[in-house]
Amino acid sequence: MTETRALLVDAFTGEPCAGNAAGVVPDAEGLTDDQMQAVAAELGASETAFVRESADADRRLRYFTPTTEIDLCGHATVASHAHLFADGRIDAGEHTLETNVGVLDVEVTADGTVWIDHERRPRSERRR
């Protein structure tokens, strides 16, 4: 049996069971497309973000609904980074994020608030 840690994380709130829930799989390296799709379907959240390594950014997120992969999801991005920060896996500050639409800038403040810059940057201007 293979174990994969999958979470439901509330975005846009500090209260449990409020806000906008998203699935987050913090260690998705090695999962196949079919496995990610199956996890997203099992969680049943509107979107689930899968955190992977990236050669072009600090991390890569792939997003799946219960039925298909999508290119980008704001609340799943916020939920993922809030979880990674709360879990001590990333520090406050500026981060880069590879998605299917390109590399985006994400900022996590010292209190765990997550901000996303949806403007894609040319490779020469990316912060790493």
The residues annotated as belonging to the active site are 47
In Å, the largest CA–CA distance within the chain is: 44
Q: Count the neighbouring beta carbons within 10 Å of the beta carbon of residue 43.
A: 20
